[in-house]
Every structure is written in C-alpha cells, then in structure tokens.
Structure 1
Amino acid sequence: MEKYAVVICGGGSTYTPDMLELLCFAQKDFPLRKVVIYDSNEERQRKIGEYGKILFRDYYEDVEFSYTSDKEEAFRDIDFAFVQIRAGGINLRSSDEKIPYRYNCIGQETCGAGGLSYGIRSVPEMIQLITDIRAFSPDSWIINYSNPAAIVAEATKRVFPNDRKIINICDMPTQIMDSYLPLVNKKRSDVEPRYAGLNHYGWFTGLIDKKTGVDVLPEILDICVNETDTVKKQLNEMYIGDKHWGSTFQEHLNMILDYPYSLPNTYCLYYLYPDTCYSHYNEDFTRSDEVISGRGSNVEKYCDSIIKLGKMKETEFDLGIHINNNGNDVSNVTSSTIAYNDVHAPYLIELAISIINNSHDICLVMVENNGIVPNLDHGMMLEIACRIGKYGVEPLHVGEVLTFEKGLLENQYASEKLLVDAIFEENYQKLLQAFTINRIVVDTDRAKNMIDDFIKVNGDYWPNFK
C-alpha cells in the first residue's frame, strides 16, 4: 500500500490542530508515512508542533512527524503541500480590518480594501513558497487554502501557467452545503454541487443527488422561502456556540429570501448588504479581535493542556472513539478539538483522497475560465465544480450567468486583476484603480486615504508602488 508524505505550510495556524487530527482520523483512506508542519516563524508553531508529537505518538505511531522552519527539511520528498499561510500574521490582519473603518468602509480580511491589502502581502509570499516547494518536490500536489484565494489564484496562474498540480480551494461553499442540506435530509457526501463565481463571490446553481440524479436545490430554496421560521431555528441550533457564524447565516437566509433562485456564498453579504455588514464591527473591535479572544485563545489552551499531560489517550482529550468510528467517509467526521471547525480540514483531505484514488469526485476549485462561462472574462479565475483525479482538475461546463451576477463578477474581477497587475508592475495608478473600482470602496479619495494608511502599516510587506 502506497503511503504519502504531507507538509502543512502555516504550521502556526489555529486550524492546524484540526488538520493534524483529521489526518489521524483518515489513516485508512489517506495512509501516511510522514507529516511535517512548516512555518517561517518556528516559535509561532512550536506549541502546535509539540502537541502534534503527542498526537501522532498516541494515534499514528508509524508516521514520522516533525515541525520546522527549514525549507529543505519541510519540502523535500513530499507528495502533498497543504498551504494555509497568513502573510503578515494576525497583527496585519487586524490592520486590514481596522483601517477601512476610519473611512466609513467595511473592514474585512478578504473583501473590500482589507482583502486587497492582504492580497498584496500574500501574492509574493505564495509565489516564493511555491517556488521553494517545487525546488525540493517538483511533482508534489500543492493545495492552497490561503486567502485572499481569488487574488492568489489570479497571480499563480500567471507565474505557473502550466503547473496542473497547483489547486486553489476554499471551504466556505462546503460550510454552506453542510448548513442547508439537512433541510432535505441530505449530507454533503450525498450530492454533487454545481456552483459558479469568484472565490467568496459565487452562487450554487444545483445540488445533484448522487443516487437519484435529482437536483435538491429547488426544494431547499422552497423550504427557505415557505418555512423560514423553521429554517431560522435550525440554523440557530447549528451555530448556537458561534455568535459570528450564527448571525451570518441568519443574514444569509435573508439574502436567499431577496434572491430566491440560487444559493449564494455568505461573502456575497458584504457586496449586496454593505450597510448591514458595516454595522457588525468598528475600528476598536473587528473580526480579528473576535478570533484572537475566541478560537485563538481556545486552541492555545487546548495544546497547553495536552502538552502538560504529555498524552491524549485515556484523558479527556482521547480521540480513540473518533478514529475507530471513522469508517470510510471523511466528510462524516466532526473535529473534536477546541477549534470546532468541521469543514476546513475535511474538505482538503477529501480532495487529496480523490486525487490518490483517481476517483474523479466533484469539488469546487478555482480554474481559469477559458469558455466555461462564455459571457464572463476569458481569464477570470472561476470557482466552479470540477472533477478531481490523478491528472488534476477537469472543470464542468457552466454556461452563461445571468446579467445581475455577470455585472457583479466582472466588476470584482476587474478589481482583482488590476491589483495583481499593480503588484507585478509596482504600479500605483493601477493600485488606485483596483481599490476605487471595488464595490465596497467606490470612492477615489477614500481609496487614496486607505492606501496611504496601508502603506505605513505594511512596510516591506508591500512593494514600493510608483
């Protein structure tokens, strides 16, 4: 039986414990010989690395586990690189979110001005990371989760145009499926999605039952429209422990009621309801503060507790029951860590399993349009349904999108394309255009003011735009 070597880039991420645990859950389907976590700042990942040693010793002892900040040690002889880096760390994410609020604008890490700022930092780091991985493992699969994924995908397609083993994905559509499929007594593994748009800016157009071939999306939308109170209650129960996502999905349901012909991505809220989204936070407290005090703190305490015990088996953190009951369906596994993220890691592992088994499962992946949606820009990096196997990504034809979606997507792609042009050319004019055309920014003076502030806080993370 072939066994695989995996590196997780961004080892200090609060999502890493979930991912490490799921690799233990999935050992029947995704057999491993080596797992490495890598972070450019070894101290940032040390605690998670020490936790990982205990985890693999207790539950997957024949796997070689390590953590490092050395590129060759991390990237040599690996089969899969799972990438979840955050260029500039949580502090610059905080600036991305807070600066726009100074100018009466939404501050969000992937949408609007904050997303553009983050993209400027992410593009050079992603290109360097892929170059480093290719230097030591030229044939490995690189599966990128790093945000802002649409901007990263636009940049990497230009620098690595013929590399079919670079795959950009996002877990948000997965969370949406997991939230609404229970309305028709289905789970994600029961359906094949149909979806079209940009990353964080798309719409489900179908959810096809694998057994019957029936599209269950119309039934879901009908339930949302005609049994709204029941759906609200179910969403409340699903997210009872998470205030952010609980309120997000209540607003998401309202968006469905306004546009009841498809199932939108939750991030469409930022573009279609900017006034409501603006009211969620302020310069003194944004989503990054919520994450630091919530998931970040909880994951740190979780790792500290296990490191102090020196073991997980026969403790309150014992994962044995989850591993033994795994079966063969990773999508049924619920992460048991204090992070409580049930889609981030499973979706990534499901995609890797589809590759190694050449099973051609349908996943949502970012690919260049090239006629997939004929009435959208040919070069647009679409997030759409693709079959995944050993050859790579084979996109499904979508057909034309409606005028409303076309207008929104072309506007957003123009912003993202101009931003990547600006990064590669160090061109201030295109930078200003990218910010100004963005639907959340819209004003030239506001764009100039925010850019000035971003230049000050980002320092060497940004090019010297001229």
Structure 2
Amino acid sequence: MSDSKRYAIAVAGGGSTYTPGIVASLVTEEERFPIRKIVFYDNNAERQETVAKACEIFLQEAAPEIEFIYTTDPETAFTDIDFVMAQIRVGLYDMRDKDEKIPLKYGVVGQETCGPGGIAYGLRSIGPVIEILDYMEKYSPNAWMLNYSNPAAIVAEATNRLRPNSKIINICDMPVGSLRRFANMCGIDDWHKLQVSYYGLNHFGWWSAMYDDKGNDLMPEIRKHVAKNGFIDGMPADTQHADKSWYETFLKVRDVYALDPDTIPNSYLKYYLYPDYVVEHSDPNHTRVDEIREGREKFIFTACREVAEKGTAEGSRLFTPFNHSDYIVDLACALAENTLGRFIIIVPNEGAIENFDRDAMVEIPCIVGKNGYERIVQGAIPRFQKGLMEQQVAVEKLAVDAWIEGSYQKLWQAFTLSKTVPSASVAKQILDDMIEANKGYWPELK
C-alpha cells in the first residue's frame, strides 16, 4: 500500500442495486486500497438518491473520513477522480423486460446478454458508455475506467473501436463467480489461490487448466463434480435459496460440459448450445427480469429506505461485499498499487489465442499493474471452440458496425448469425419489433 496516496472513486450508475455492495467492498478493503472520496453519478436522480442516502449513512458510521457526494452533473462527478467504476443499465428493467420477452414471442432465447436481447441491450449501451468515458477523460485524464456495464462483449468491441487509446478495462464477474464455485468443490478457502487457463469471449468461454497455489492439478476433481451436477456442488451454503433460474443454469452446465469433457464451460453457453431447451423451460410472461424485480431489486430498495428511515445501517444486510464488488475493487487496487495480480478481463486478442482473430475482443487471464495489463498467452484452441467463437465474434462486430453506420442490414445480419436464432426470417421479425421497442435508444437505422 502507498504511504500517502488515497484514491477517489466515481461510481457511474449510482442508483444500481449493486452499488451498496461496491461501497461495502471499498470500505472493507480500505487498508490495502485507501479511499478519500466516493462520488455517485446517475442520470436518474430519484433512483440514485434512494441508494445514496443509505450509503451516506453507512459511510458516516463505517468510514467517516471518506468524502461522499452524489450528483447528476458530469463535471462534479468526474473531476479529481482516480477510477470510474461503471455499471449502467440503459433503459432500466423496463427495457430488459422487452429484451427478454420479445424474442420469446418467436420461440427464441430471451436473455439480457445473449442472442437478440443481448444485441438490443448492446446498442443501447454503446453511446452512454462512450459518453461516460469522454467525461472521465475531459475532467480526470489520468483516471482508469473499469467497466462492468453489460453486455460486456459488445461494449468492449465498441470502446476498443471508437476509443482505442482510452484507459478502460472491460470486465465481468462471471468467471470469478465460477472460480469461487471451483474452490468450494475442491475444499479451497480462497479462490485467489487458483491459477487458471481460460479463453473465450465474454459469457462464452472455457477453462482449460486449473491448479492450486502448490501447483496441484484440480481439473480431475472439478470434472468429476461438473459431470455429475454441473456447478451445483460449488454453490456456497448461503446461496441455497438462490433464484430458481440460476439453479437450473448451474445444473445445465453438465450437459454443456458433455460436448467437450476436456474443458470446463462458462454457464452462459447453455443459451447457445441448448436454445431449444432454454425456450422450452422459459415462461414468456415471467422471465429473469421478473425474478430480479421481485427479489434483488425489491430487497435493495426496501433496505435502502429502511436505513434512511432508521438513520443507521447497523444490522442491515444491505452492505455485503459480493463477487461483483470484490472483483472491481481487486482490479482497481492492482492498477493503483501495482500488485501484478492475475485477472480474467476482456482485451484485444493480438495473438494471445494464436489461431484466432487478432482484433477480436477476447476474455483471457492477464497480469494487471500500474501501467495496465499484459496478456497471458493461451496458445491454440480446439476447432469446436474456435468455430463457436468465430460465429459469436462476428455477431458482436456486426452489431457494432450497425451502431456506427446506422445500418439495418448489418443489424439483421447480426441477429441472423446468432446461434440462438433459427432463421433470417425470424431474425427480421424480432429485429423489427426491437426497433419499435428501442425508439429513442438506438441510432436511426437505414
């Protein structure tokens, strides 16, 4: 830890349900990553204020030395900042509802980061993420942006293409959540002790090797668990009442694994490899977004109001660090304090996967320090994974082409190429509905 340096953090998307967890992680890790200021920024003042009032009380009680501000003004938010932690959801849950339910009308997977729903969300996210990046560079040109905003693959492709020299790292907590499960399967108390090889795209990857901190090969043990129960065996005891949809997703991993028992797959691959199963097991009137509204969203905002009414955060379950928050703080600490830690992040390939497109945005392990990241070479990948990845990276590139060029044709091609969509005619029907639903969010398409 630096002797004197204390860091200023802007949380873009201050009204997010994940924000209290980020604040809790920042406070928990203050000894190794000291904070002098936290600023919340959001364009939804009312939503942000509910979260901010609770966080303000928590900070007054847990870390009164930290200056705290919440604002809708970009200059106030991004001036004198070391890190921007971005986690915006453009269109909030009303638009996620459409992302999930419009494809299901046509018998196609409805998911916020996969298939047509993910593409729709991506086109809404590109402009606002670039806007926040530009604000950061204008008001704090030496700051780093750590972007968690989904869909991370499309956002990463767009930021790399439109702002190739910007100090932004695109990240996702899905690999970390999986590593926690693998550690649990093997009786290891800390996932940081795992040393892994991993390659793919965001929400579209595979673990090819895994060792503990003594160099012991963990893959045989993990394979045994995954072949039998998917990722269920690794779920911590405190998540036994996790949402039903996640339980089903973690169990379905065993069928994804069966396609290639030499690797361990990311759980999201079920949407691409078993789309018929996913649609069959989806309720078109009650999707994942409804679970969140009834679960996390309701809990977080009820808890925030309770903290504000009581005037104390004592006894509240609101301020609990979790995968998302711990990971983003770990990464900021690596950049600030030059820890040279290993992180799975989304970066231009440039040969790290030797038989894959150099300009693809891939998700691989990297060493992170004060000057950014260094890729850890993953070598050549098998034909099965390479073929799937080439198809999916083409979808992501076509979607960004469509946003930049305002091209209906390119977007139709992106929808058609998605492995979740059965034909060009179905792709066109979904696209036309999505255009109507996303008026005011997407560029005008010609």
Shorter-chain TM-score above 0.5: yes
Per the normalisation by structure 1, the TM-score is: 0.91
> Which residue is equivalent to 1:240?
240
Amino acid at match of 2:99: D
Q: CA deviation at 1:235?
A: 3.9
What is the distance in 1 between the residues matched to 2:231 and 2:150?
A: 30
1:244, CA displacement in angstroms? Answer: 2.7
For residue 169 of structure 1, report the CA deviation from its aligned partner.
Answer: 0.4
The answer to whether 1:63 aligns with 2:61 is no
Give every structure 1 segment of 4 or more consecutive aligned residues whose post-TM-superposition deviation is greater than 6 Å.
none
Q: State the Cα deviation string for residues 209-246 of structure 1 (Å, max 9, x = none).
A: 23x22332233113444xx3697556484631112322
| Corresponding residue to 1:175 among 170, 174, 177 | 177
Q: Distance in 1 between matches of 2:164 and 2:26?
A: 30
How many angstroms apart in 2 are the aligned matches of 1:119 and 1:7?
Answer: 23
**Which SS does the other structure have where 1:461 is aligned?**
coil
Matching residue's letter, 2:400: V
Amino acid at match of 1:310: G
TM-score, normalised relative to structure 2: 0.95
Which position in structure 2 is the counterpart of 1:419?
399
The answer to whether 1:367 aligns with 2:347 is yes
Report what 2:23 is aligned to. Answer: 20
- The answer to whether the 8 A contact 2:226-2:253 is kept is no
In the alignment, the residues of structure 1 paired with residue 57 and residue 235 of structure 2 have an alpha-carbon distance, to the nearest angstrom, of: 36
Quote the offset at 1:436 in angstroms.
0.4
8 Å contact kept, 2:230–2:253: no
Tell me if the contact between 1:30 and 1:353 (Cα under 8 Å) persists in the aligned partners: yes
Q: Identity, % of aligned pairs? A: 40
Structure 1 residues 236 and 16: alpha-carbon distance in aligned structure 2, compared to 1, 3 A threshold:
closer
Count of matched residue pairs: 441
**Separation in structure 2 between the aligned mates of residue 142 and residue 408 of structure 1, nearest angstrom:** 30
SS at match of 1:193: strand
Change (3 A) 1:412 1:231: closer
Partner amino acid, structure 1, of 2:40: I
Q: How does 1:72-87 map to 2 (within 5 A)?
A: 72-87=75-90
- Whether the 8 Å CA contact 1:374–1:399 is kept in 2: the answer is yes
Aligned residue type for 2:178: I
Separation in 1, partners of 2:226, 2:345: 27
For residues 88 and 234 of structure 1, do their structure 2 counterparts lie closer, same or farther at Cα, with a shift above 3 Å needed? Answer: closer
Q: CA deviation at 1:188?
A: 0.8
User: What's the CA shift for 1:311?
Assistant: 1.1
CA distance in 1, matches of 2:302, 2:345: 34
Rounded to whole Å, the distance in 2 between the matches of 1:348 and 1:305 is 27
Partner of 1:325: none
How do 1:307-322 residues align onto structure 2 when only pairs under 5 Å count? Answer: 307-313=308-314, 316-317=315-316
Match of 2:430 in 1: 450
Using a 3 Å threshold, how does the CA distance of structure 1 residues 79 and 232 change in structure 2: closer, same or farther?
Answer: closer
Aligned-pair distance for 1:352? 1.1
Q: CA RMSD in A?
A: 1.7
**Does the aligned pair in 2 maintain the 1:209–1:216 contact within 8 Å?**
yes
Q: 1:32 aligns with which of 35, 38, 53?
A: 35
Equivalent residue, structure 1, for 2:212: 209
Deviation at residue 259 of structure 1 after TM alignment? 2.8
Partner of 1:4: 7
Residue type matched to 2:195 in 1? E
Aligned partner of 1:328 in structure 2 is none
State the distance in 2 between where 1:411 and 1:230 align: 25
Alignment of 1:334-413 (within 5 A): 336-337=317-318, 342-413=322-393
Consecutive unaligned residues in structure 1, runs of 5 or more: 318-335
Whole-angstrom CA distance in 1 between matches of 2:323 and 2:236: 18
Whether the 8 Å contact between 2:230 and 2:252 is mirrored in structure 1 is: no
Letter in 2 for 1:174: V
From the superposition, tell whether residues 232 and 345 of structure 1 become closer, same or farther in structure 2 (CA, over 3 Å).
closer
Provide the rounded CA distance (Å) in 2 between the counterparts of 1:233 and 1:199.
24
Equivalent residue number for residue 275 of structure 2: 274
Q: Distance in 1 between matches of 2:363 and 2:308?
A: 40
* CA positional deviation for 1:364: 0.4
CA distance in 1, matches of 2:232, 2:99: 32
Distance in 2 between residues matched to 1:34 and 1:371, nearest whole Å: 39
Q: Distance in 1 between matches of 2:93 and 2:235?
A: 29
Output the amino acid matched with 2:239: Y
What does the per-residue CA deviation read over 1:378-398, in whole Å, with 9 as the maximum and x for residues that have no partner? 211000000000010100111
Contact 2:184 2:234 in 1 (8 A): no
